[in-house]
Structure 1
Amino acid sequence: MEGTLIKPEDTWLLWAFLAGWAAVSIYLEQKYDWANKVSGAIIALVGALVLANLNVIPTAAPAYDVVWGYVIPLAIPLLLFQANLRKVWNESGRLLILFLISSVGTVIGVMISFFALYKFVPELDKISALMTGSYIGGSVNFAAMAGKFEPSEAMVSSAIVADNFMMALYFFVLIAIPGIPLMRRLFKAPIVERIEKEPVRNDETLAASYWKRKEISLKDIALSIGSAFVIVGVAFKVAELFGAYLPEGGAFWSIIRGILGDKYLMLTTITVLAVTLFSKFFDRLNGAQEIGTYLIYIFFVVIGTPASIPLLIKNAPLLLVFVFIIVLVNMIITFGVGKLFKFTMEEMIVASNANVGGPTTAAAMAIAKGWKELIVPAMLVGTMGYIIGNYIGSAVGYYLSNLM
């Protein structure tokens, strides 16, 4: 880091880059077709990766810690303001079923990959928890599990590199699938066929048409951000109290402490309960999704900063094999079971994408492909991934830790 152009202590310059590049990524996605197809999330990540490897920005800095410690906790409730459980089921029941099947594929993939490689990769039980959360929910869950299980910084960095590299490759694979003749013969693709017959041309990208202007007031901004702060503060304090006062002895109390004393699980639980119980209040808030998505784009920039290919090769080259097995098993189960139960190709692609990348990337792919009827369901089931990813990731982490 000593040789970087921007030093770790140059906090304002680093925040200028983080916030600025996130904004540029969103702008490019909504301005140009090529960027729309790649997705702003990948642009954000790759831009940081390139600058970090060119020694323009540091791979670690206090500014990045703020994103992990404060930006992500605020982004979680803002993005979960749509997580009304009744709404998720009513509007996305079919896709939700496939998404849950795909989640099972992730867990099976993690187990296969863990038992194949645990003798060769250190801390793989903790990394398995991170990747389970990440490949059921998304980067938010990766951050939550990293904060919970606390693997070494070197392993987290290497896992991020492997995760991001594989995620980017898999997105390109998913994007390419509808154009592969063999896949078109194997799976029904009614939306793709309709778009091919009736191409829609517009001066703006599909991302821009989705993230169109909406009426938003100062009250919306104040209540959205204020509610997020309150929920985070209450959830973290409640988790702290449970962790301090619950008994420590015995397997039962260890599990209870692990659930109730975990600040990210408590944050998820309180947010979903609040949104489901007070749905009218949260439904009236405009802008929460946009603010939360922007914060996630800042996180996409941050997770690209430690993505050093030499670091991956030096510290944990087998992590790339580890995540490859997980993604491969997820894909096989998603498409295999999807074929068995007559889901469409588009539904399989979106469900698997929502697992591996989360709601923002799943919606971005649906937008980029013009699958308008799948955009909202993709966001909703991906949001469900945010909810269950932390719970399943924690369960996998505890189970595998006991085996080590």
Structure 2
Amino acid sequence: MIVLPLRKQNPLHRNSKRPGLQGVASAVAAVAPASTGGAAASPLCPDGWPLWCLLLSCAALAQIAEKHTAWGSALSAPLVSMLAAVGLAASGVIPVDCAAYGVVWGYVMPLAAACFLLETDVGRLVRDGGPLLLSFLVGALGMVAGAAVGALALRGPLEAAGGGKVAACLCASYVGGSVNFAAVAAALHLPPAVLPGAMAADNLMMAAFLAALMAVPVNKAATAVAAAAAAAAAAPAAGTAGLAVAGSAGQGPAVAGTAAAGAAAAVAGAPAALTAEGLALILAAGGVTVAVSQAAAAAVGAAPFLLLVMAAVATALAEAARWARRRLGGPDEPVFTGAGQVGTALIGVFFAVIGAAAGSLSCLAGAGVLAAFLSVMVAVHWAVVAVVGRGLLRLPLEALLLGSNANIGGSATAAAMAAAKGWPHLVQPALVTGSLGYAAGTLAGMAVARLLAV
């Protein structure tokens, strides 16, 4: 990958319509920070370690705020990191454009995406996903349709906030996650000043949509029977772990709820302890994933779909590492457990750079119309889920709810919902299904861009 030069020297800006074929760096260079004004001409920390210190501190502050404060949890760590950097840039402490930001766009963001993808257990998803996987795919199609409808219905007001490009980015985020938003923004050359407002609307509306999903009533008696049957069927293949889940599922709603909470704590809420060996393996595998994917995408002319190529490479690498460890007598478990935590830490720095590029709180002005767009998009998504998923395919309601949650919020919120609703047999499939969005989100966003001809 190529180290990005300063924006003024970047030849990619001569052709802003289509990205080049130089992999991640060339794809993201097109949307790399452009000066938006509002910051001091000579920032206090123009570059070097003082600047990196502040970027890393924004990411750390965001994680602390999300975990330990109500307001941080409501806003989400990416948005907190971005707003902190907006404040620093607006006050003239950090620049809105510098070489360090190119390093983050060219190296840190792709490495974060690779880390997220390395922890996606595709084999388990195919084996155990079943109705939940199908619900997720139906929901993804509904989100694409909703983005197209919302963009056309709000064409005039939406134009000032980024038009069809921001619609495609938000669709990518609501099928996948933040890394998909960034990948589509890079491929479509979304103006940097639009990004903070779009992310603010994205995160704030997501909380409302997830609350609505949690409020949908489900027939608890039918759910308990389905949970017991699923756990019993899984017991022969799952060994003692499967038997433990089956036993908890058959003890009634109160005990099942407690077991689900424990399952969520073990699977979603309690991160795996990272060792120096594990961290080194994750970073090395992430680097290999990005390097191979960049070369492959450039060779076939598919730079805008780099994240899809990365998903295939990361899956192959993770399965190969798992096979090798099993052959050497090790446990048959994913090798890169904890990679998602590394990706979360890295992506915080990336969102700090997005905030710095905006340079002013005026970037949040377009969040209102984007909230309206998201409402239309998700309403159409839910309509498709109801008509196709429930009406035509007769999928279970709990699978439809979790599939929609995995679309909108991701793997962690889907697993948490499964635990809170008393569906312990769906906690692990919800986690894996949600992580599939990292592979599918970019494709969904680019499909919307193609539909809207942007």
Q: TM-score range by the shorter chain?
A: 0.7 to 0.9
Q: Which residue of 1 aligns with 2:192?
A: 153
Q: Deviations for 1:275-295, whole angstroms, at most 9, x for unmatched residues?
A: 455542582344323323443
Whether 2:378 is the aligned partner of 1:327: answer yes
Q: Which residue of 1 aligns with 2:339?
A: 288
State how far apart, in whole Å, the 2-side matches of 1:210 and 1:382 are.
Answer: 12
Q: Which residue of 1 aligns with 2:232?
A: none
Contact 2:165-2:188 at 8 Å conserved across structures: yes
State how far apart, in whole Å, the 1-side matches of 2:319 and 2:419 are.
Answer: 27
State how far apart, in whole Å, the 2-side matches of 1:40 and 1:205 are.
Answer: 22
Q: Aligned match of 2:125 in 65, 78, 88?
A: 88
Q: Which residue of 2 aligns with 1:384?
A: 436
State how far apart, in whole Å, the 1-side matches of 2:260 and 2:399 are.
Answer: 25
Q: Which residue of 2 aligns with 1:229?
A: 287
Q: Aligned match of 2:139 in 94, 99, 102?
A: 102
Q: Which residue of 2 aligns with 1:396?
A: 448
1:229 CA drift (Å): 0.8
State how far apart, in whole Å, the 1-side matches of 2:359 and 2:408 are.
Answer: 18
Can you give the 5+ residue segments of structure 2 that lack an aligned partner in the other structure?
Answer: 1-37, 228-248, 325-332
Which range moved further: 359-368 or 127-136?
359-368
Contact 1:130-1:146 at 8 Å conserved across structures: yes
Q: Aligned match of 1:272 in 315, 318, 326?
A: 315
The residue type equivalent to 1:354 in the other structure is A
State how far apart, in whole Å, the 1-side matches of 2:51 and 2:182 are.
Answer: 21
Q: Which residue of 2 aligns with 1:24?
A: 64
Q: Deviations for 1:163-188, whole angstroms, at most 9, x for unmatched residues?
A: 2222222223233x15xxxx347996
User: Normalized against structure 2, the TM-score is what?
Assistant: 0.67
Q: Which residue of 2 aligns with 1:318?
A: 369
State how far apart, in whole Å, the 2-side matches of 1:264 and 1:303 are.
Answer: 19
Can you give the 5+ residue segments of structure 1 that lack an aligned partner in the other structure?
Answer: 29-33, 243-256
User: Normalized against structure 1, the TM-score is what?
Assistant: 0.75
TM alignment of 1:135-154, pairs within 5 A? 135-154=174-193
Q: Which residue of 1 aligns with 2:258?
A: 200
State how far apart, in whole Å, the 2-side matches of 1:267 and 1:294 are.
Answer: 19
Q: 1:373 to 1:25 in 2, by over 3 A?
A: farther
Secondary structure of residue in 1 paired with 2:385: helix
State how far apart, in whole Å, the 1-side matches of 2:450 and 2:411 are.
Answer: 26
Q: Which residue of 2 aligns with 1:133?
A: 172
Q: Deviations for 1:178-227, whole angstroms, at most 9, x for unmatched residues?
A: 5xxxx347996547995446653999995477454656543322222101
How many residues are treated as equivalent by the alignment? 372
State how far apart, in whole Å, the 2-side matches of 1:45 and 1:261 are.
Answer: 23
State how far apart, in whole Å, the 2-side matches of 1:240 and 1:144 are.
Answer: 15
Q: 1:49 to 1:275 in 2, by over 3 A?
A: closer
Q: Which residue of 2 aligns with 1:116?
A: 153
State how far apart, in whole Å, the 2-side matches of 1:8 and 1:170 are.
Answer: 40
Secondary structure of residue in 2 paired with 1:283: coil
Q: Which residue of 2 aligns with 1:31?
A: none
Whether 2:433 is the aligned partner of 1:375: answer no
State how far apart, in whole Å, the 2-side matches of 1:17 and 1:222 are.
Answer: 23
Which range moved further: 78-87 or 146-155?
78-87
State how far apart, in whole Å, the 2-side matches of 1:202 and 1:367 are.
Answer: 4
State how far apart, in whole Å, the 2-side matches of 1:337 and 1:171 are.
Answer: 21
Contact 1:161-1:312 at 8 Å conserved across structures: yes
> Aligned-pair RMSD on alpha carbons?
4.1
Q: Aligned match of 1:44 in 77, 93, 115?
A: 77
Q: 1:65 to 1:391 in 2, by over 3 A?
A: same
Q: 1:67 to 1:61 in 2, by over 3 A?
A: same
The residue type equivalent to 1:272 in the other structure is T
1:273 CA drift (Å): 3.7
Whether 2:290 is the aligned partner of 1:238: answer no
State how far apart, in whole Å, the 2-side matches of 1:185 and 1:134 are.
Answer: 31
Secondary structure of residue in 2 paired with 1:135: helix
Q: Which residue of 1 aligns with 2:203?
A: 164
Q: 1:89 to 1:171 in 2, by over 3 A?
A: same
State how far apart, in whole Å, the 2-side matches of 1:304 and 1:44 are.
Answer: 13
The residue type equivalent to 2:158 in the other structure is V
Contact 1:160-1:307 at 8 Å conserved across structures: no
Percent of aligned pairs with the same amino acid:
30
State how far apart, in whole Å, the 1-side matches of 2:405 and 2:438 are.
Answer: 13
